[in-house]
Amino acid sequence: MPSSSLRVVPTTRTVLLGALIASAVAVPASATAATTTAATTPTTAPAAPTAPAKEVVAAGVRFGDIDLSGLSRTKAKAALRNGLEAKAPSTADVVLTVAGRAHKLSMSTIKYRFDLEALSQAAAKAAPNTSLPVIATWNSASLARWYRSISSMQKASRNATIKIGITKQRVTGSRNGWKLDRGKLESLVGAVLKDPTKPRTLKLAVVRTTASVTVAGLKRQYSTLITVDRPSFRLRVFKRLKLSKTYKIAVGSEGHTTPAGMYSITSKQVNPAWHVPNSAWAGSLAGQVIPGGAPNNPLKARWLGLRDGIGIHGTSEAWSIGTRASHGCLRMHPSDVIDLYDRIPMGTPVKIR
């Protein structure tokens, strides 16, 4: 069934014919012996039928820019047909441009038609200076399919991404996109279907969509980042994803390997106490707690904790820097760890390879 079928139902008018039928009246006769006289009253003839009133369109009645003033209904219908055929609005394509690309809506595809009979009847009944509404039909299913094909077009937005590397950070930028407003699409095209005088070349603005994660957002998220390259004994600091500083370090010894993975700075201390691992590696100090700053405390100057007793700290054993020597921690020269300490906020991500 058509989606728009604003039709005027023709009205049939019947003029009733009256007939006056007179009855014959008998007149009495007087008779004499010589002659007889008879008289007859004639029957009254039927009245002539009343002609139907001629329907004429009132002054100023228009359909679009077609003036129907003073025309009979039959002539109004012909004027509509001629005027519409001259402009061919019922068969001309609607061309819609979206994001620089044109899309055609064929009137033959949706079986669009003006109902000239209903329009002419409406014109004959319209008050003076009336602009007639469009009375047309089309296939709603075909039109709905076209709406769906157009409104489904979009350019998806894309979030910025980061692949955290050891020596550099690989960032893919974000991209904004667009989509269509189905309601605005139907309103724009529907206005043309309902008014043959409107332009049939249309342009629909798209709705811009933005990425939820941008490069700027990643730079804020990773305002500070630490990476650790165990094979080369290097610790790197990145600020806003750009390399800021590189330090030499020592890493875990054989059997006490510094664990690889993603971590974060969970604690910070100045002159930390040393909770000695309860293992043969610690010798006679195993299981003890050595106060911060004590001569026999190997944790010098600063501590930046990662997990399970593993962290970044200064060491008095300068010879161990650049080797596998610790119980899993990352050792630094005291001056370096003091320099690092003030650059690194709590929660800083740490990637160890």
Q: What is the predicted pLDDT for the residue at 283?
A: 76
pTM: 0.65
Annotated catalytic residue within 103, 275, 313, 333 = 313
327 is known as an active-site residue: no
Residue 270 maps to a domain: yes
**Can you give the pLDDT at residue 26?**
34
| 333 is annotated as an active-site residue | no
Residue 232 lies in a domain: yes
Structural domain count, the chain: 1
Residue 126 resides in a domain:
no
**Is 69 inside any structural domain?**
no
Catalytic residue among 256, 327, 329, 333: 329
Name the maximum alpha-carbon separation found in the chain: 181
What's the mean pLDDT when you consider all of the chain?
Answer: 84
Range of the domain at 340: 224-352
Residue 245 domain-assigned (yes or no) = yes
CB 226 within 8 A of CB 245: no
Identify the CATH number of the domain in which residue 267 sits.
2.40.440.10
Question: How does pLDDT run across 38-68, given as a tens digit for each residue?
Answer: 333 344 555 555 444 458 999 999 988 899 9
Residue 294 forms part of a structural domain: yes
Residue 88 covered by a domain: no
Q: Is position 271 within any domain?
A: yes
200 or 339, higher pLDDT: 339
